[in-house]
Amino acid sequence: MNQSPLAVVVLISGGGSNLQAFIDAQQRAELPIIIRSVISNNADAYGLERARRAGIATQVLDHRTFFQREQFDAALINLIDQAAPELVLLAGFMRILTPVLVNHYDGRLLNIHPSLLPKLRGLHTHARALANGEVEHGASIHFVTAELDGGPVIAQARVPVLKDDDANCLAARVLIQEHRLYPRVVRWFAQRRLQLNAAGIPELDGVKITTPLLLDVTAPE
């Protein structure tokens, strides 16, 4: 079991509640990571304030100042690589990344998506789950690939959809589980260095993960 803390960079665009979950878990000594930098494409992201309060370096790279996505991604790579992370974590990051960046961090780039992938890729997943009459919903942690929300799923957390749900209360129910799921997956990486093999299949301790690890995050660890 690897005991050395994992160096990570977290990318955000908004409130940063998943970033806060990392910070809180780390401060409870439940997550052996060093958050070397928090980078946002949005200068107004409240997650930047969360990082500052925790004494974490922050940087803003406004995507609107670049003519092409590839130029933004190249500049983002430069910022990320200055921190030399082992893992790059997208946490509420709202920009579609090009192969320029995805290939540069292949196997070291994770995202949390608020649906039970492969269902409901893209945006507005909670409203779409309700519109589709889903009886369960949830969140997925996956490797990021060029295919939007199409990368290998590592773990998922499920919640019931209740008959009187609206998008906001469903989102809130999912978010509670996100904050339990993401730190636990990152801890796996810190303890075992979860990785993609040459075929692009996630391996944990050399065991291929061919189906999502369904985590009962409601249960105590």
Ligand X SMILES: Nc1nc2c(c(=O)[nH]1)N[C@@H](CN(C=O)c1ccc(C(=O)N[C@@H](CCC(=O)O)C(=O)O)cc1)CN2
Catalytic residue of the set 63, 113, 124, 137: 113
Look up 126 and say whether it is catalytic. no
Q: Which is nearer to ligand X, 148 or 162 (CB)?
A: 148
Could you tell me the two tokens for 63? 């995507």
Q: Which is nearer to ligand X, 20 or 125 (CB)?
A: 125
Chosen residue from 35, 105, 113, 202 binding ligand X by CB under 6 A:
113
Site membership for ligand X, residue 123 (CB under 6 A): yes
Stretch that binds ligand X, among 79-87, 91-99, 174-182, 210-218 (CB under 6 A): 91-99
**Cα-to-chain-centroid distance, residue 194:** 15
Can you point out the beta strands (E) in the chain?
A: 6-12, 33-40, 58-60, 87-90, 109-113, 136-143, 153-160, 195-196, 202-204, 207-208, 213-214
Instruction: Please report how close the Cβ of residue 138 comes to ligand X at its closest, in angstroms.
Output: 13
**In whole angstroms, what is the distance from residue 32 CA to residue 22 CA?**
10
Site membership for ligand X, residue 90 (CB under 6 A): yes
**In whole angstroms, what is the distance from residue 18 CA to residue 20 CA?**
5
List, by residue number, the catalytic residues: 113
